[in-house]
Amino acid sequence: MSLFENTIRQMRQAAALIKLNPHIEDHLSYPERILEVNIPVRMDSGSIKIFRGFRVQHNNARGPYKGGIRFHPQVDMEEVKALAAWMTIKCAVVNIPLGGAKGGVVVDHTTLSTNELEKLTRGYTRAIAPFIGPEKDIPAPDVYTNPQIMAWIADEYSVLQGYNKLGVVTGKPLAVGGSIGRDQATSQGGVYVLLEALKNRQQHPQQTRVVIQGFGNAGANVALLLAKEGFKVIGVSDSKGGLFCENGLKPETAISCKLEKGEVGECFVAGIESGESCKKVTNEELLELECDVLVLSALENQITKNNAAKIKAKIILELANGPTTPEADTILKEKNVIILPDILANAGGVTVSYFELVQNEMNYYWSAEEVQERLRKIMIDAWHHVDDLAKKYNCTYREAAFIAALKRLEETMQLRGW
């Protein structure tokens, strides 16, 4: 089953619980627009290489399309369709006035020079330019894209318009109209949700051992934020492997060490008490470590029917999009593992992206405290709404989050006559 089919299956399960209007369900089962582009880039060697790119606009009933751009060698249309649909749902879960989209370029960014990466980004921007803009569709960073890439997109689009239109993209550097707090927003939003969920269980951060899969923007930031809240981070990993420190580890040391050594699994120095209590683990072993909270912040399809039964965490915080397959969901439900689902847990990123768009359009910028407080309120309100729905429908948090979104989408789409 493709990732998009998984997404639609998740949506249909929730739709059945609330008897969603069938034509709304049908509408949401397909993207509204699909764009496939070819991007020629003159490489440093002088030869021309053609790259493939996608942009999928899933639904814009509640506001302009919004969603990140992924640069990855294995990205494909089915994946981008799934990610776009999740964006529609996610924006509705946290009740911000945006729709859902996603983009992707098939590329291994590590094989490109900075010059080639810039040309590819500008080429992709030109290819999708007629379909994006602050009122139409606003891209953002995702896996292996970053603020510099967003700055190139903002610049290229502004050049095409003939005037500055920085709100065409979010996740930009501060010096190019970025918002304070965007870099940590996804992780911060997830931490707010986790803290509220733990209150339900009367569990304190100090007694909570956390394992984190993925050590990029979402994973490294959540490690820092959780350690600051008093959680004990005992395991982290990146694509090359993981590090397990029985007595806890220092995220800041792991971050600087990863920069130096290139892989976090080699960062034995990060152990809080003694580096000797740390050992290297494989990515598979990391997921199966004994812990209270497992944070998934790498890629989709990480917990599947093959490893779900071996998961020992009591709570899973999904910062990645789609890290748990529907089959794994069923197994984890039977094991009473609580899942704080992606469409709620990682919505802090799009929320501060929304703030960035608002600030760009006003050309007036907020302080860190203003951003933080607005994000906190949105995430905590969304959590309580989802928690209430989970109790009302006696369902999982994933189903409840889908219900929250589908009800809002249904109301808007019906009022608009869709």
Q: Which stretch binds ligand NAD (CB under 6 A): 3-11, 201-209, 217-225, 391-399?
A: 217-225
Q: Does 256 bind ligand NAD (CB under 6 A)?
A: no
Separation of CA 333 from chain center: 23
Binders of ligand NAD in range 235-254 (CB under 6 A):
237-239
Q: Does 356 bind ligand NAD (CB under 6 A)?
A: no
Site mask for ligand NAD (CB under 6 A), range 310-349, x = bound? ---------xxx------------------------x--x
30: its two tokens:
């397909």
Minimum distance between the CB of residue 183 and ligand NAD, rounded to whole angstroms?
Answer: 8
Q: 186 or 359, CB closer to ligand NAD?
A: 186
The answer to whether 11 touches 402, Cβ cutoff 8 Å, is yes
Q: Which of 203, 256, 283, 307 binds ligand NAD (CB under 6 A)?
A: 283
Quote the CA–CA distance of 122 and 141 in Å, as a whole number.
15
Nearest to 319 by CA among 232, 203, 221: 221
Q: Which of 7, 188, 217, 360 binds ligand NAD (CB under 6 A)?
A: 217
Q: 219 or 413, CB closer to ligand NAD?
A: 219
The answer to whether 189 touches 232, Cβ cutoff 8 Å, is no
Active site residue 102: yes
Minimum distance between the CB of residue 300 and ligand NAD, rounded to whole angstroms?
Answer: 6
Quote the CA–CA distance of 85 and 67 in Å, as a whole number.
10
Quote the CA–CA distance of 14 and 5 in Å, as a whole number.
14
Quote the CA–CA distance of 225 and 190 in Å, as a whole number.
10
> Which residue of this chain has its Cβ atom nearest to ligand NAD in the complex?
216
Minimum distance between the CB of residue 79 and ligand NAD, rounded to whole angstroms?
Answer: 10
* Phi, psi of 274, deg, nearest 5: -155, 135
Quote the CA–CA distance of 235 and 232 in Å, as a whole number.
9
Q: Does 71 bind ligand NAD (CB under 6 A)?
A: no
Q: 20 or 98, CB closer to ligand NAD?
A: 98
**Residue of 102, 172, 250, 280 with catalytic role:** 102
CA angle 351, 357, 363 (to 5 degrees): 135
Minimum distance between the CB of residue 70 and ligand NAD, rounded to whole angstroms?
Answer: 7
| Cβ-based neighbours of 99, under 8 Å, separated by 6 or more | 57, 58, 59, 60, 61, 62, 63, 64, 65, 66, 87, 88, 91
Site mask for ligand NAD (CB under 6 A), range 121-160, x = bound? --------------------xxxx----------------
Q: 20 or 347, CB closer to ligand NAD?
A: 347
Q: 237 or 360, CB closer to ligand NAD?
A: 237
Q: 71 or 413, CB closer to ligand NAD?
A: 71
Q: Does 111 bind ligand NAD (CB under 6 A)?
A: no
- CA atoms lying within 13 Å on the CB side of residue 35: 25
Binders of ligand NAD in range 178-207 (CB under 6 A):
186
Q: How many residues bind ligand NAD (CB under 6 A)?
A: 24
Q: Which of 60, 88, 297, 324 binds ligand NAD (CB under 6 A)?
A: 297
* Phi, psi of 245, deg, nearest 5: -120, 105
Burial of 318 (0-12, 13-18, 19+ CB in 10 A): buried
Sheet of 232-238: strand order equals 278-281, 241-245, 232-238, 209-213, 293-296, 315-318, 338-340
Positions marked catalytic: 102
Residue ranges that bind ligand NAD, judged by CB under 6 A = 141-144, 186, 213-219, 237-239, 283, 297-299, 319-321, 346, 349
